[in-house]
Structure 1
Amino acid sequence: MTNSRLSGFRNFTVEERRGKVIAEAGLDAGRLDALSPEQGLGLQQADLMVENTIGVLGIPIGIATNFIVNGRDVLVPMATEEPSVVAAASNLARMTRDHGGFVTTSTPPLMQAQVQVIDVVDPVGARYRLLEARRELIELANDQDPQLVKFGGGAVDILVRLVPSSRQTYVVLHLVVDVRDAMGANAVNTMAEAIAPRVAEIAGGRSLLRILTNKADLRLTRVRAVFDAAALGGPAVVEDMIDAAEFAVVDPYRAATHNKGIMNGISAVVLATGNDTRAVEAGAHSHAIDEHGRYTSMSRFEKDANGNLVGTLELPMPVGLVGGATKVHPVAQANIAILGVKTAADLADIILAVGLAQNAGAIRALATEGIQRGHMSLHARNIAVTAGAELHEIDQVVARMVGEKIVRTEFAQKILAELRTGTRS
């Protein structure tokens, strides 16, 4: 059984960390070889994935520790170039462990395709005719993907909306599809293309767009966690964190950055597992629009009866384990193995947990020492390397920059010169 509480993990070498992950996740010795740049995604395979390939981009993959999700310890691979993200998520996950970690619920994996019909003379009547043809249209859609139906998925319903515009009123049919363990874009797009001529015929118009919507509001994942008040820093810190979070609820300018912090965690896991970061981000930000049309916080924070901080988060999470880069990218496959997930819902649960932990970490930093202290101490390592520091020099350069609160390349170069000549001004 995996133990994600790996104390001192940051102090190990890369190879030692990988060995720990292999041991805790119960993987074969060579299962994570793809995480080495020389053995990961090669040019030949990359050329099959996108057009006009000229190379590949490496992104650091860190392991977030301390996570318990629905009673199971998990080690979480995160692909990100931003310092402090992995550390913050791991730290705040630690503060939930005594309270059971992260608990999730979710809806079935329902995605929607839209068929837009234009030039309809009687939009209201057309809507009723389409609803009357529900069974016919569902059967036509399911004829396109018998394999999905065999696994318990397939088209399950239709919705019809009238969308007025300055041009005309569009009749828009939503085809609701259970995509099982896939993200679902290819399946729902194929079905939409197939039913579009019949939809247009019934509506008495012409079909135009036939494509999925990334506003996946029928495919939701919810997560809740209790963050220990004492570990956070005490009652005053909890109160300040709640006020900091509430600021994002009522002010869209703050909400934009607050939600970006959530997506720092979410997108890192989505990317690490070969899923579509753009689809997930689009769905998440659209879900942050409230019933009054105002952009607001994705998360909510409050205090429980014992004074601990309770965080909750609900977002669409259209991720999959079948198809796409998840199945062809060797690094994504290795990261899926680390997670030990068997279904897309399991993956979505972990992704939301990381998003909430990341969010809580950012709020705590803002409400206490400020975001720069922790962030800049990690950023300083990048600056030291940029300035030309060797491995044995990095810690000294970083300590000086952070201590004097000057994290700039030219200052790092000055420190290096002093270290190497044995002088200090």
Structure 2
Amino acid sequence: METSRIPGFYNMTVEERIEMLKELHSSSDKDLNNIKRHVPLSTEMADKMIENVIGTFQLPLGLGLNFLINGKDYAVPMAIEEASVVASASHIAKIVREAGGFTTKATERVMIGQIQVVGCPDFHEAKEAIINQKELLLEAANNAYPSIVKRGGGAEDIDVRILNEDTESKYNQMLILHVYINTCDAMGANIINTMVESIAPIVEELSNGKVYLRILSNYADRCLAKASCVIPPKYLKTGAYSGEEVRDGVIHAYEFAASDPYRAVTHNKGIMNGIDPVVIATGNDWRAVEAGAHAYAARDGQYSSMTIWSKDEYGNLVGELELPMSIGTVGGATRVHPLAKFSLDLLNISTAKELAQVIVAVGLAQNLGALKALATDGIQKGHMALHSRSVAIAAGATGEMIDIIAEQLIKEKQIRVGKAKELVEEYKK
């Protein structure tokens, strides 16, 4: 993508936006035609992906614009049904762009496979035996999936824990192995599961116990991505609110979420409003990302805000978001879903680490968009303006009538289907 800064994009028709994409990105006509025909996934292909297929279910696919991340432009595909999310993320990305853009980084792509062992005669002896044979176990795990080793990944380390050692119940006492596996650019579920299943018999022999579960963990706390931004107050001025007032309002809103789980849940849901659409658009497992993100938000013993907002010594607003990001750019739906492949191509990314960094930047932008709205005019103003169009369509409005009915609903402050139906009937007379 030459640039993600496309003024007036929201005012264009869908056809005009696609023509603009042709000019700015080297997408094939076939890819763009798939979007225009609204048939990105055939039922035949869907039938090969899951069971009991009866059709496909589509979501709107939009572009988060204005994203400048580590000096590189990104137009970010976002698949979501909720109004105002794409607009909010793009608006904040423009502000952050003017302030210098997002800075991101990521750790190595190390995922976790778990093996549960029960019934050990002596759990401490079992733990010691496994640790002493760590190299043997790592070699066996890598032999089970040699292709990932050839790509520079594979099993790298093993950790062993004893759970519920002091309890009397035989069901509570267990030995847990963590196998740390670099999955390169794959999300890695199949790689991890294959490896831990392959070494389970060796673990049983070493521990004199019985292995039950052997499966990946979606709490990928060794596969982290972090985004940050620094915004001078002058870029935050909104209507009658000074930049300093907006900055302080954002920080107060963050502190509320950091201190109260009831607020944190809604606060973090807003962050995932930005993250999930990108994960979905790129064919990744958004449930795994959600689960890992919420677990990370509770890593200190209390569920809290995923983001951190503060003021630096120069009075700038500083935002940070760090999350586990178990996503991939190869394998799974990324390989077979036409629009997932198109989305990855449009992003012009080379690695899963880069994709993870883009995703957390969008999450940080979406969070600031929500907090900025809450700290100023309230979140309903922008949200309901977009929601009014959906209400108008639900009431039977079509064509130019949609905008007319939507504007009237906003003017009368009655954004509900019943009122919209009345207006549609009046318009038709």
Within 1, Cα distance between the matches of 2:161 and 2:408? 62
Instruction: Supply the RMSD in Å over aligned alpha carbons.
Output: 1.3
The question of whether the paired residues in 1 share the 8 Å contact of 2:99 and 2:235 is answered with: no
- The corresponding residue for 1:27 is 27
The question of whether the paired residues in 2 share the 8 Å contact of 1:67 and 1:94 is answered with: yes
Q: Deviation at 1:26?
A: 3.0
Q: Which runs of 5+ in 1 are unaligned?
A: none
Q: Deviation at 1:52?
A: 0.7
Cα distance, 1:31–1:38 mapped onto 2, change above 3 Å: closer
Letter in 2 for 1:163: L
Within 2, Cα distance between the matches of 1:329 and 1:374? 33
Pair 1:179-2:194 in alignment = no
- The corresponding residue for 1:190 is 194
Describe how 1:260-271 pairs up with structure 2 within 5 A: 260-271=269-280
Identity of counterpart residues, as a percentage?
Answer: 47
Q: Deviation at 1:38?
A: 4.4
Offset from partner CA, 1:282-307 (integer Å, 9 cap, x none)? 1000000132x100000000123332
Within 1, Cα distance between the matches of 2:235 and 2:163? 50
Q: Deviation at 1:171?
A: 0.3
Q: Deviation at 1:228?
A: 4.2
Aligned length: 420
Offset from partner CA, 1:166-214 (integer Å, 9 cap, x none)? 5332100111100000001000000000001101111110000000000
The question of whether the paired residues in 2 share the 8 Å contact of 1:21 and 1:338 is answered with: no
The question of whether the paired residues in 2 share the 8 Å contact of 1:33 and 1:40 is answered with: no
The question of whether the paired residues in 2 share the 8 Å contact of 1:109 and 1:178 is answered with: yes
Describe how 1:125-164 pairs up with structure 2 within 5 A: 125-164=125-164
Describe how 1:351-390 pairs up with structure 2 within 5 A: 351-390=359-398
- The corresponding residue for 1:392 is 400
Range with greater deviation from structure 2 (150-159 or 13-22) = 13-22
Within 1, Cα distance between the matches of 2:314 and 2:144? 54
Within 2, Cα distance between the matches of 1:101 and 1:326? 28
- The corresponding residue for 2:426 is 418
Letter in 2 for 1:255: A
Pair 1:215-2:224 in alignment = no
Range with greater deviation from structure 2 (124-133 or 74-83) = 124-133
Cα distance, 1:7–1:302 mapped onto 2, change above 3 Å: same
- The corresponding residue for 2:55 is 55
Within 2, Cα distance between the matches of 1:204 and 1:22? 63
The question of whether the paired residues in 2 share the 8 Å contact of 1:95 and 1:228 is answered with: no
Structure 1 segments of 4 or more deviating over 6 A? none
| TM-score normalised per structure 2 | 0.95
Pair 1:226-2:235 in alignment = no
Q: Deviation at 1:99?
A: 2.4
| TM-score normalised per structure 1 | 0.96
Within 2, Cα distance between the matches of 1:168 and 1:413? 59
Give the secondary structure class of the aligned counterpart of 1:96: helix
Q: Deviation at 1:146?
A: 1.0
- The corresponding residue for 1:237 is 246
Q: Which runs of 5+ in 2 are unaligned?
A: 238-242
- The corresponding residue for 1:248 is 257
- The corresponding residue for 1:316 is 324
Within 2, Cα distance between the matches of 1:357 and 1:47? 36
Within 2, Cα distance between the matches of 1:241 and 1:221? 23
Within 2, Cα distance between the matches of 1:368 and 1:94? 18
The question of whether the paired residues in 2 share the 8 Å contact of 1:387 and 1:410 is answered with: yes
The question of whether the paired residues in 2 share the 8 Å contact of 1:380 and 1:401 is answered with: yes
Offset from partner CA, 1:313-344 (integer Å, 9 cap, x none)? 00000100111001000110111111011110
Within 1, Cα distance between the matches of 2:360 and 2:11? 27
